[in-house]
Structure 1
């Protein structure tokens, strides 16, 4: 399974939905980076993604975007292939 990284906060409903969708697609291990608990990680996220909002999702080294981007990728049948081992 691909490595999934999720920049998130504890109270973000879109973060919760993103995690739920990833789990529905078989992702057991999600590396969550809580930018609300470690504000320095928000700066890292913004530098890495160019975006300020959470969630920000990476599959391996590919930036997927936020929840809407993840859901659109799933609807287009593009999510499962990315989650498969290389």
Structure 2
């Protein structure tokens, strides 16, 4: 099973949507709370190449992007192979 890391912020509907998708797929993930101004938020920004929004999603150490990017992978049938290959 691939290591899935998701940087989130409370009250973020996009974060909830991304987490829900992984729950529905039965995938285990690590949720990292990344509030504004925290070290975790800076880490997310550095790892994502400068993106400042949440969620920021990593699968097997690879940056996937945010919720829209995740949903596009799912819609295009590319998420399950990515999860299986990681």
Q: Deviations over 1:29-70 (max 9, x none)?
A: 211110128811111111111200000000011111000000
Structure 1 residue 78: Cα displacement: 0.6
1:60-75 map, 5 Å: 60-75=60-75
Following the alignment from structure 2 to structure 1, what is the Cα–Cα distance between the partners of residues 11 and 57?
A: 16
What SS does the corresponding residue of 1:77 show, helix, strand or coil? coil
Aligned equivalent of 2:7: 7
What count of residue pairs does the alignment treat as equivalent? 85
**Over aligned residues, Cα RMSD in angstroms?**
1.6
1:26 CA drift (Å): 2.2
Structure 2 runs not aligned, ≥5 long: none
In structure 2, distance between residues paired with 1:34 and 1:26 = 21
1:78 equivalent in alignment to 2:78? yes
Give every structure 1 segment of 4 or more consecutive aligned residues whose post-TM-superposition deviation is greater than 3 Å: none
> Please, what TM-score do these two structures have when normalized by structure 2?
0.90
Matches within 5 A, 1:1-86: 1-27=1-27, 29-36=28-35, 39-49=38-48, 50-84=50-84, 86=86
